[in-house]
Chains A and B, each alone.
Chain A
Amino acid sequence: MSVKDRMSGNEAVAYAIKQVNPDVMPAFPITPSTEIPQLVSNYIANNEMDTEFIPVESEHSSMSATIGAEAAGARSLTATSSCGLALMWEELLLAASNRMPCVLTLVNRTLSGPININCDHSDAMGARDTGWIQIFAESNQEAYDNFIQAYPIAEDKRVHLPVMICQDGFITSHAVQNIVLNEDEEVQDFVGEYHPEEFLLNDGNPIAIGPYSISSYAMEARKAQEMAMENSKEVIIEVARRYKEKFGRGFELFEEYKTEDADYIMVIMGSAAGTAKQAVDDLREKGMKVGVLKLRVFRPFPAEELAEALKNAKGIAIMERTESYNGHGGPLCSELRAALYEHKVYTEAVCYTYGLAGRDFTVEHVYDIFNEVNDIVVNGKEYKQHRYINLRTKEV
């Protein structure tokens, strides 16, 4: 049985947290994720869940306490956005390298400065090499579904890594949309009980966590962590399949929308995928063969699968919602083009930066992008890589 409701993304994730009822949640408020700890605190105050909430004094401490709780044997999580994630950065690395299967629900917001509270992916992308699995949502529904899959992925013996569940600030976190919710028991049954193998409070089997390690050992630890990230791909797929069997929804590493016969494919992450799909429907009515590939899993980066999915496209528009300041595109562009090259998919792939700090991204922009990619492929139009969409002044 499932229940139809209307919820914002924050409400949906808080509801999923209530259903999973983890052991410990330290958190510190930051827009636009603040509602999540607020809603959880309300559920606790009204005896609807009995997670231990720690109102810490900073995000650095929220991730530190999450690590402490997880190490002690408790299923733990925190929530944050933007500068909060940046402040945690050191601890993100420690959560992953100490192999803590904790969860962070991230509501994507741009980083300062100028200070701005709206959406882009610069917070998550800044943490892309910290060793966390990163899963992005297009909608409140996906944020909800992804959160429920987080612990089964993180706690799998082949993985033992932390998982970041990302949704777009305000666009997803605050907009109310229809949603289908699972029954509590079904969620609990899906997630299962947490029985860690080794933990601080394991009576009779004390352990030590967080050693100093000399060069003779440290590199093997890094390799083991890297292998866990590689292994996580099959676990993410298994969990997604199990979720779809049980609840009838969801995607594995990415969603392919009308890509099968597409000449041009837009690769995009997060809420803007909805805009892109609408534009694809419109353009298809006019006879243009276009499609959207919505990337769900950014870490581990599904290089081989993406190359396979894109190999027949004549042109690819890679949509970047962050800036790397490296002078030639963002992380999705760099990694995807490397993946295409590695797998010998030599096709036009143009990098577009859009939606920074909450700038609007509309179907008209998608039309323009597909038309330009068409112009490049058909007419050999010369183009500049790494251009910005919808700037106030025309880019030179």
Chain B
Amino acid sequence: MGYSLKEIMNKPERLTPGHRMCAGCGATIGVRAVLRALHENDRAVIGNATGCLEVSSYTYPYTAWEDSYIHNAFENAGATLSGVETAYKALKKRGRIPEDVNYKFITFGGDGGTYDIGFQSLSGAMERGHDMVYVCYDNGAYMNTGIQRSSATPRFADTTTTPVGKGSVGKMQSRKDLASIIAEHNVPYVAQTTFTKDFRDIHRKSEKAIYTEGACFLNMLAPCPRGWRYEMSDIMKICQLAIDTCYWPLFEVDHGTWTLSYEPKKKLPIEDFLREQGRFKHLFKPGNEDLIVQFQEEVDRRWEDLLYRCAK
């Protein structure tokens, strides 16, 4: 079947307007893109770790979610959906859910709830192989509490717990490669994605993740205008630069096979991605040229490593 952006954009929204997320936020764009991959007759239960998305989309007495939805706590979205998915198995087995009714289980967490505090719960859920999709909307810091560093924060980023100052050039460490770590759990499907002009990559990967049996993981770059300090209207440009500089490569690991989803015709220098964002402003001050070189070296090393993994 062919892919038509117009067609998928005409599907009924499963995350309705009226929620309280910021203008220019990547999380809701990503959530809507993932949910568009659900087949229309399929029901879903959405899980959510505590974070911006949760507090802004389900503020009592209003919910923006058309499907059943559960938020439990910050660090346990994986375990919570494990319970929901297992309940589905139990109730189906015992005839308490009609045969022809199909549910899918999708949980969303930010990088705080996924890379860090919820890492154990996620790892457990993936290892046990629950039939669910865990989607990390990775905006590279604890944005809900006010832009503190996470293990997904890139090196040299200015955050409120790695502030740039006379004795500091921002975060000291490079980011954790979570998609690879989850791939090493040997789950059926892992992919890294973000927003491209036609939304084809995220749609295809979401559909594959939702309709592949077993535990699947999507790592979705979801820029945050507050934390990254870019112009709200520039989100698509930022995402394109993330993939064209190979800062955020698009790839998938399908039953152990690594495949590159996108290779830029011309790999852009990392400055092009960094320059658009206030959190890296200090890197462009005279005397800090070496920091950009170091950043570039790490991007190159990881890109080469990914090319090696994806080599046929």
Using CB atoms and an 8 Å cutoff, list the residues of chain A in contact with chain B: 23-24, 26, 50-52, 54-58, 60-62, 64-74, 76, 90-91, 94, 98, 200-203, 206-214, 217
Interface residues of B in 45-101 (CB under 8 A from A): 45, 47, 54-56, 58-61, 63, 65-73, 75-76, 78-84, 86-91, 93-94, 96-98, 101
Q: What residues of A have a CB within 8 angstroms of the CB of B59 in the complex?
A: 211-214
Q: Which of B69, B88, B89, B121 contacts A61 (CB 8 A)?
A: B121
Which of chain B's residues has its CB closest to A93's CB? B73
Could you show 18 A-B contacts with beta carbons less than 8 Å apart?
Answer: A23-B94, A50-B94, A54-B83, A55-B128, A60-B121, A65-B82, A65-B86, A68-B83, A68-B87, A70-B87, A73-B96, A74-B86, A76-B83, A91-B72, A201-B68, A209-B71, A211-B63, A212-B56
* B91 close to A26 (CB less than 8 A): no
Q: What residues of B have a CB within 8 angstroms of the CB of A217 in the complex?
A: 60-61
Q: Which of A24, A56, A60, A211 contacts B90 (CB 8 A)?
A: A24
* A60 close to B83 (CB less than 8 A): no
* B87 close to A23 (CB less than 8 A): yes
Which of chain B's residues has its CB closest to A202's CB? B68
* A76 close to B71 (CB less than 8 A): no
Tell me the smallest distance from the CB of B310 to a CB of chain A, in Å. Answer: 30
* B87 close to A69 (CB less than 8 A): yes
* B45 close to A72 (CB less than 8 A): yes
Complex Cα–Cα for A66 and B82 (A): 9
The interface centre, meaning the residue of B45, B59, B80, B98 with most chain A CB atoms within 10 A of its CB, is B80
Complex Cα–Cα for A210 and B68 (A): 11
Known: A57-B120, A68-B80, A74-B86. 12 other contacts (CB 8 A): A24-B83, A50-B93, A56-B82, A57-B124, A61-B76, A64-B80, A64-B121, A65-B80, A66-B83, A68-B70, A203-B43, A212-B59
Query: Mostly helix, strand, loop or mixed at chain A's interface?
Result: mixed
Tell me the smallest distance from the CB of B94 to a CB of chain A, in Å. Answer: 7
Complex Cα–Cα for A51 and B61 (A): 35
Number of CB contacts from chain A to chain B under 8 A: 168
Which of chain A's residues has its CB closest to B94's CB? A23
Q: What residues of A have a CB within 8 angstroms of the CB of B75 in the complex?
A: 60
Q: What residues of B have a CB within 8 angstroms of the CB of A71 in the complex?
A: 70, 83-84
Q: What residues of B have a CB within 8 angstroms of the CB of A56 in the complex?
A: 79, 82, 124, 128
Q: Which of B80, B89, B123 contacts A52 (CB 8 A)?
A: B89
* A74 close to B70 (CB less than 8 A): no
The interface centre, meaning the residue of B66, B79, B89, B94 with most chain A CB atoms within 10 A of its CB, is B79
A58 with B124, Cβ < 8 A, contacts A23-B91, A50-B93 known: yes
* B71 close to A211 (CB less than 8 A): yes
* A64 close to B97 (CB less than 8 A): no
Interface: B103 (CB within 8 A): yes
Tell me the smallest distance from the CB of B95 to a CB of chain A, in Å. Answer: 12
Interface residues of B in 233-270 (CB under 8 A from A): none
Tell me the smallest distance from the CB of B278 to a CB of chain A, in Å. Answer: 28
Q: What residues of A have a CB within 8 angstroms of the CB of B101 in the complex?
A: 203
A200 with B70, Cβ < 8 A, contacts A61-B79, A74-B91, A91-B76 known: yes
Interface residues of B in 208-229 (CB under 8 A from A): none
Complex Cα–Cα for A67 and B75 (A): 14
Complex Cα–Cα for A58 and B121 (A): 8
* A60 close to B88 (CB less than 8 A): no
* B45 close to A64 (CB less than 8 A): no
Q: What residues of A have a CB within 8 angstroms of the CB of B96 in the complex?
A: 73
Which of chain B's residues has its CB closest to A66's CB? B83
The interface centre, meaning the residue of A62, A65, A212 with most chain B CB atoms within 10 A of its CB, is A65
Tell me the smallest distance from the CB of A86 to a CB of chain B, in Å. Answer: 15
* A69 close to B86 (CB less than 8 A): yes
* A201 close to B97 (CB less than 8 A): yes
Complex Cα–Cα for A203 and B98 (A): 9
* B90 close to A206 (CB less than 8 A): no
Complex Cα–Cα for A237 and B78 (A): 38
Q: What residues of A have a CB within 8 angstroms of the CB of B94 in the complex?
A: 23, 50
Complex Cα–Cα for A23 and B128 (A): 18
* A52 close to B90 (CB less than 8 A): yes
